A and B are shown apart, each in its own frame.
Chain A
Amino acid sequence: MTSSPSADRPVVEMSGISIEFPGVKALDQVDFRLFPGEVHALMGENGAGKSTLIKALTGVYGIDAGRIVVDGAEHRFSGPGEAQDAGIATVYQEVNLCENLTVAENIMLGHEPRRLGAIDWRAARRAAAEHLATMGLDIDPASSLGSHSIAIQQLVAISRAMVVDAKVLILDEPTSSLDADEVAQLFAVVRRLRDQGVAVLFVSHFIEQVYEISDRMTVLRNGQRVGEYRTDELDRLELVSTMIGRSMDVLEDLQVSTEHTVDAEQGATPYLSAVGLGRKGDVRPFDLDVYAGEVVGLAGLLGSGRTEVARLLSGADRADSGTTRIKDVPTRLRNPRAAISQGIAFSSEDRKSEGVVGDLTVRENIVLGLQAGRGWMRRLPRRQVDEIVEKYMAALNVRPANPDALLRNLSGGNQQKVLLARWLATAPELLILDEPTRGIDVGAKAEIQKLVAELASQGMAVVFISAELEEVLRLSHRIGVMRDRRKVAEIVNSEDVGVDDVVELIASGGEH
């Protein structure tokens, strides 16, 4: 741990920051400070204003009120370029680099060394290689960025940030698509930078990671600052209740609701039954039954074939082997539309590119699926639309509770809720959820989990995919274990099954 930072002068001091969007007060008089040589976590639920605060600091959004002082000088950023010039570098959740260019080009873009006015490519490649080396990254600078995993791309993005000798490094949800090994690699780099005196602002929904890496934290709630704490002085429970501003009732409720079990084993017909379903190159043939009223969890590492299974079950990809029976009737799901007409709803893990429509309002997004099912000629009556929208916005606690807000102005977690509402509005019989809780905060996560449990108890069949094994275990009645694009095991969930058991199954590939 570093020496107490309070002795130094803050490198970033934001005071009284307010930002307003049409219909949304995103930030309200927020103060924030960041010291050199610390890792500072910015905590808060979705919609608390974390992303907005970061975008104010990086010049993406202009501020309506307040002062931003960086390194002693007051700034009014009118673009990301200006913030970068002031020494603030940012690595966003979705890596914002250009996949069409090489690693070296991405790192040096905009800062290429020149000779006689022309870019000196040899020097540029050498500099890029040096920056990669200091990150401990052994990749070819001349390889194209798109050929690397997201984790590597993220580290490349940090290398890029370091080219400008950034005093402040902002990491916005850097770990949400990394596996444990890659997180460790990232944290090693972050610690090294911190020890060099860089101020690191870290935003993550993974509370364990925040405790592992951060020295101090600032908590936001509903666009306001709740407080600033030393990480070692605030325990996890206190943090969560500070973030959500209420006690942990929601999470405890959940424990009760999953206790009931399904009589799936009693010879009933499964709602959906896949036999030998597979697709070359994606996932090996697997069998899977999903009964009405049960949650079937899919556990496995990133890239183990979880998503591919979901895509086959939902008709998003076409299977090239095996059969699907729905209520004992053999059915070919040629495309998502066919699946939807069979009552199967698939909420994709990539909500940004496959789910929500940012330029439509919350209301329009919610009824999109329902309207599509009816055909565009038979418009839903406005009153019915309002009823549905109101019902699901309340049920899912979508914030802000304004059906006319544009979806892109909502936080990630609330977008996810809207997406969920869209599928629920179509009253599906089988709901396939691929990573519905990724990148969203504890409160929203608990709400979504609770909802899934409720839906199942009301008789809906649910396939639930998550990278978080605790979550899968908490919700599922049965768990399919995936590894290396193969379904290696299926276990019935009970009190005795723990995370370790599932991890062991994944590790051993079910071969005992």
Chain B
Amino acid sequence: MATTTPQHTVEGSGPGAPRPGGSGPARIARRLRIDRRYLPVVGTFVVLALILAIGGVRYDNFLSVGVLANLFINNSFLIVLAVGMTFVILTGGIDLSVGAVLALSAVSAAYLIDAGVPVAVVLPAVVLIGSIIGLLIGLMVHVFEVQPFIATLAGMFFARGLCFVIAPESIPITDETFVAIAGWDTWIAGQWRMTTSVIVALVVIGIAFYLLHFTQFGRTVYAIGGSEQSARLMGLPVARTKVLVYVISGTCAGLGGLLFAMYSRSGYSLTGVAMELDAIAAVVIGGTLLTGGTGFVLGSVLGVLVLGLIQTIITYEGTLSSWWTKIFIGVLLLVFVVLQRVLSLRKT
């Protein structure tokens, strides 16, 4: 039986016992706590600004609208991949298949167009290929309770193998409609160049943001990442959601393949090797916890931009080997993971 102590208030007033209330310090602490959720993203933003500043100081013309516009153009497919990956990682999973699925989608697009299939059919078809592979992976993860790492690894080998079966050699895409779509662009305010793929990427970001923050599906994604057990006991549709995140990631990979085909005007079975790791890196640098439950899709976009900017700087530097990109990304990843760890430790 519990002892009723009339003096139990001593505990409440002790250190480390947060009490709700309206006093000044409490309110500030509370405000800080809310901010903490956004801190990793703010951190990414600061890094982005820092890189921009460094580039601006070191090189002429670096801080131009053109460079920034090209950043989006050159990385649109990676943005789409990272957005899909964000869903999966938010649930606490991982998707290693996206690089290979991207290649499969690009190769399929090139092959089908080469075979004379109308572009209007090819575009949705190759995206669907991604969705189907995502669905299969999702079912493996959910129904057979295969670890996401293994299920998506299997998906990766499967998709990559299929690329070679379809076309071992690179297939150029010369179809007029396709080239027209890929080459279409518009100028915002006469300065900012937007291509089809940038617009697609922006639309994907918008849809993802809406899904994550304004639908029950999105809330369930976060809840599963917080605690799958709790989500289930709260009566949320855990099973459906877990399958769906892999479908979304697969769809994004399919779409990414299409964007990559537009970007390279070809389909080649060796594209996108290890690109899934770039996507994961972007998501992590963007402040999403690998354990799930915390993160934002806009953070992932910032993560991609950081990766892209590092690459741009290396290119501007000229004398550095492009492998330095990897080293910087590695260091940055480490810094961010440590930062997240510190933040989550301080929270508890």
A residues touching B (Cβ–Cβ < 8 Å)? Answer: 58, 60, 79-85, 90, 92, 96-102, 105, 109-110, 112, 118-119, 121, 137-140, 142-144, 146-149, 152, 160, 175, 179-181, 183, 206-209, 301-304, 467-470, 483-485, 499, 503, 506-507, 509
Q: What residues of chain B lie closer than 8 Å to A58, measured between beta carbons?
A: 233
A81-B237 contact in complex given A101-B222, A109-B219, A303-B16, C-beta closer than 8 Å: yes
Q: What residues of chain B lie closer than 8 Å to A109, measured between beta carbons?
A: 219, 223, 234, 236
Report the minimum CB–CB distance from B277 to chain A (whole Å).
Answer: 25
**Contact status A92-B233, CB under 8 Å:** yes
Q: Is B227 an interface residue (CB 8 A)?
A: yes
Closest B residue to A180 by beta carbon equals B4
- How many A-B pairs have beta carbons closer than 8 Å: the answer is 150
**Contact status A138-B11, CB under 8 Å:** no
**Contact status B216-A112, CB under 8 Å:** yes
Q: What residues of chain B lie closer than 8 Å to A484, measured between beta carbons?
A: 10, 14-15
Closest B residue to A55 by beta carbon equals B233
Question: How far apart sit A358 and B256, CA to CA, in the bound complex (Å)?
Answer: 42
**Contact status B3-A470, CB under 8 Å:** yes
A79-B235 contact in complex given A112-B219, A180-B4, A484-B14, C-beta closer than 8 Å: yes
Question: How far apart sit A106 and B236, CA to CA, in the bound complex (Å)?
Answer: 12
Contact with A along B222-242 (1 / 0, CB 8 A): 110111011111111100000
**Contact status A118-B222, CB under 8 Å:** no
A148-B14 contact in complex given A98-B293, A101-B222, C-beta closer than 8 Å: no
Q: What residues of chain A lie closer than 8 Å to B115, measured between beta carbons?
A: none
B residues touching A (Cβ–Cβ < 8 Å)? Answer: 1-12, 14-18, 20-21, 30, 33-34, 36-37, 210, 213-216, 219-220, 222-223, 225-227, 229-237, 293-294, 347-348
**Contact status B236-A110, CB under 8 Å:** yes
Q: What residues of chain A lie closer than 8 Å to B347, measured between beta carbons?
A: 146-147
**Contact status A105-B14, CB under 8 Å:** no
Question: How far apart sit A509 and B236, CA to CA, in the bound complex (Å)?
Answer: 47
Q: What residues of chain B lie closer than 8 Å to A92, measured between beta carbons?
A: 233
**Residue among B15, B214, B236 with the highest chain A CB neighbour number at 10 A:** B214
Closest A residue to B295 by beta carbon equals A100
Of A100, A507, A509, which contacts B225 at CB under 8 A? A100
A483-B1 contact in complex given A80-B232, A80-B234, A98-B226, C-beta closer than 8 Å: no
Given contacts A109-B236, A147-B30, 19 further A-B contacts (CB under 8 A): A81-B236, A84-B235, A85-B235, A98-B231, A99-B226, A102-B34, A109-B219, A142-B34, A144-B33, A144-B37, A148-B20, A149-B18, A179-B8, A180-B2, A208-B2, A209-B1, A470-B1, A506-B5, A507-B5
**Contact status B33-A180, CB under 8 Å:** no
Question: How far apart sit A102 and B33, CA to CA, in the bound complex (Å)?
Answer: 10
Report the minimum CB–CB distance from B215 to chain A (whole Å).
Answer: 7
Question: How far apart sit A304 and B210, CA to CA, in the bound complex (Å)?
Answer: 46
**Contact status B1-A143, CB under 8 Å:** no
A138-B20 contact in complex given A80-B235, A110-B216, A304-B11, C-beta closer than 8 Å: yes
Report the minimum CB–CB distance from B13 to chain A (whole Å).
Answer: 9
Question: How far apart sit A304 and B13, CA to CA, in the bound complex (Å)?
Answer: 11
Closest A residue to B227 by beta carbon equals A98
Q: What residues of chain B lie closer than 8 Å to A470, measured between beta carbons?
A: 1, 3
Question: How far apart sit A302 and B5, CA to CA, in the bound complex (Å)?
Answer: 12
Question: How far apart sit A469 and B8, CA to CA, in the bound complex (Å)?
Answer: 14
Closest B residue to A160 by beta carbon equals B234
Q: What residues of chain A lie closer than 8 Å to B30, measured between beta carbons?
A: 140, 143, 147
Of A79, A118, A208, which contacts B214 at CB under 8 A? A118
Report the minimum CB–CB distance from A145 to chain B (whole Å).
Answer: 9
Report the minimum CB–CB distance from B35 to chain A (whole Å).
Answer: 11
**Contact status A301-B5, CB under 8 Å:** yes
Question: How far apart sit A102 and B294, CA to CA, in the bound complex (Å)?
Answer: 12
Leading 8 A-B pairs by shortest Cβ distance: A98-B226, A81-B235, A507-B7, A100-B293, A100-B226, A118-B214, A139-B20, A96-B230
Question: How far apart sit A352 and B17, CA to CA, in the bound complex (Å)?
Answer: 23
Q: What residues of chain A lie closer than 8 Å to B220, measured between beta carbons?
A: 110
Closest A residue to B7 by beta carbon equals A507
**Contact status B20-A152, CB under 8 Å:** yes
**Contact status A143-B33, CB under 8 Å:** yes
Question: How far apart sit A97 and B110, CA to CA, in the bound complex (Å)?
Answer: 48
Question: How far apart sit A506 and B7, CA to CA, in the bound complex (Å)?
Answer: 8
Closest A residue to B11 by beta carbon equals A301
**Contact status B3-A110, CB under 8 Å:** no
Q: What residues of chain B lie closer than 8 Å to A181, measured between beta carbons?
A: 8-9, 12
Q: What residues of chain A lie closer than 8 Å to B222, measured between beta carbons?
A: 98, 100-101, 105
**Contact status B3-A119, CB under 8 Å:** no
Question: How far apart sit A152 and B20, CA to CA, in the bound complex (Å)?
Answer: 9
Closest B residue to A471 by beta carbon equals B1
Report the minimum CB–CB distance from A167 to chain B (whole Å).
Answer: 15
**Contact status A144-B10, CB under 8 Å:** no
**Contact status B4-A138, CB under 8 Å:** no
A468-B11 contact in complex given A98-B293, A112-B216, A119-B219, C-beta closer than 8 Å: no
A147-B33 contact in complex given A99-B227, A112-B216, A180-B4, C-beta closer than 8 Å: yes
Q: What residues of chain A lie closer than 8 Å to B223, measured between beta carbons?
A: 98, 101, 109
Closest A residue to B233 by beta carbon equals A96
A60-B227 contact in complex given A110-B216, A175-B2, C-beta closer than 8 Å: no
Q: What residues of chain A lie closer than 8 Å to B9, measured between beta carbons?
A: 181
Question: How far apart sit A507 and B210, CA to CA, in the bound complex (Å)?
Answer: 53
**Residue among A79, A90, A207 with the highest chain B CB neighbour number at 10 A:** A79
Question: How far apart sit A144 and B18, CA to CA, in the bound complex (Å)?
Answer: 12
**Contact status A303-B11, CB under 8 Å:** yes
Report the minimum CB–CB distance from B8 to chain A (whole Å).
Answer: 5
Report the minimum CB–CB distance from A476 to chain B (whole Å).
Answer: 15
**Residue among B219, B220, B225, B229 with the highest chain A CB neighbour number at 10 A:** B219
Question: How far apart sit A101 and B215, CA to CA, in the bound complex (Å)?
Answer: 15
Of B17, B230, B237, which contacts A98 at CB under 8 A? B230
Q: What residues of chain B lie closer than 8 Å to A503, measured between beta carbons?
A: 3, 5, 7
**Contact status A90-B233, CB under 8 Å:** yes
Closest B residue to A92 by beta carbon equals B233
**Contact status B215-A119, CB under 8 Å:** yes
Closest B residue to A442 by beta carbon equals B1
Q: What residues of chain B lie closer than 8 Å to A84, measured between beta carbons?
A: 234-235
Report the minimum CB–CB distance from B236 to chain A (whole Å).
Answer: 5
A208-B1 contact in complex given A109-B219, A142-B34, A301-B8, C-beta closer than 8 Å: yes
Of A99, A209, A302, which contacts B11 at CB under 8 A? A302
**Residue among A90, A110, A139 with the highest chain B CB neighbour number at 10 A:** A110
Q: What residues of chain A lie closer than 8 Å to B219, measured between beta carbons?
A: 105, 109-110, 112, 119
Q: List 25 A-B contacts (CB under 8 A).
A: A60-B233, A80-B232, A96-B230, A102-B34, A109-B234, A110-B234, A110-B235, A119-B219, A140-B20, A144-B34, A144-B37, A147-B18, A147-B30, A148-B18, A301-B11, A303-B11, A303-B16, A303-B17, A304-B14, A468-B3, A470-B1, A484-B10, A484-B15, A503-B5, A507-B5
Report the minimum CB–CB distance from B286 to chain A (whole Å).
Answer: 16
Q: What residues of chain B lie closer than 8 Å to A160, measured between beta carbons?
A: 234
Of B8, B14, B34, which contacts A143 at CB under 8 A? B34
Question: How far apart sit A140 and B16, CA to CA, in the bound complex (Å)?
Answer: 18
Report the minimum CB–CB distance from B92 to chain A (whole Å).
Answer: 11
Report the minimum CB–CB distance from B214 to chain A (whole Å).
Answer: 4
